[in-house]
Amino acid sequence: MDLQLSGRVAIVTGASKGIGLAVTRTLLAEGARVVAVSRKSAPELEALAGDLVHVPADLMDPEAPGQIVGRAVAEFGGLDILVNNAGGPPPGVALPRFGFLTPTDEDWRTMFEFNLFSVVRAVRAAVPAMLARGGGSIVNVSSGSARMPAPMNVDYNAAKAGLNTLTKALSEEFAPQGIRVNTVSPGPVRTAWWTESGGAADIIAAQAGTDRDTVITQVAPEMMKLSTGRLVEPQEVADVVALLSSPRSASTTGADLAVDGGFLKQV
């Protein structure tokens, strides 16, 4: 299926690994021109072919989103797609954290800064550029945990719930002006968050008295009641992001699409 993305200009945050890298690769393969945003580049990102510009940026910096959008306009003449993928544990933070009393006020501030306020600023910067092109698509990467809160990662879950609410409000305001806004809510995805040393798999392994590989292949899918019995692959999320970015999804706005292996059970 032709997603009609050829020549369209996209910004993808958190683009150097995991879901962001998969989204960047997919959009390039569909003919889009991509501004890939991350703190630093990676060999996998540099190896991608196509109209790709890497912008090193720290999204905790309030000035960064405006600079990124300015770079997209300068390099490619405008902006059609914004994928707010950067999120998860802020720099220097390891998740999961257990219990409401564990995160401090500073933990809460940092979590909201990275997972919600950075998106607010990115959208604020992107909307005028999209309106100048007659519309566009914004895809916010949220989490199934926003709709299934638990006494683990409480601050993260609350920030992502806020992101879902923000998305609904944005979709209502800007759909008449041609800008669609949707969320994609992954479940646990096989990314560095889980697999790297000191990541979620290691933390859960220490709690469960097992090893990292067993957590990834067995403990986590069972603990999170994944119907598929496995973690989600980044490409599976990227495919849905690409579809929502496409004009083929012209009547989809304000939606929250779960790509979670059956994690979310509610109707």
User: Helices in 105-254 by DSSP H: which ranges?
Assistant: 105-112, 118-132, 154-174, 192-195, 200-208, 212-214, 220-223, 234-245
Is residue 156 part of the annotated active site? The answer reads yes
Which strands, in side-by-side order, build the sheet including 81-84?
52-56, 33-38, 9-13, 81-84, 136-141, 179-186, 256-259
What b/e string do you get for 152-173 counting C-beta neighbours within 10 Å, with b at 16 or more? bbbbbbbbbbbbbebbbebbee
For 87-99, the DSSP string reads -SSPTT--S--BS
> Which of 112, 114, 156, 263 is the catalytic position?
156
In 3D space, the residue among 143, 139, 136 whose CA is nearest the CA of residue 239 turns out to be 139
For tokens 């692959």, the residue is 233
Q: Which helix (H) or strand (E) holds 83?
A: strand 81-84
Q: Which residues are catalytic?
A: 156
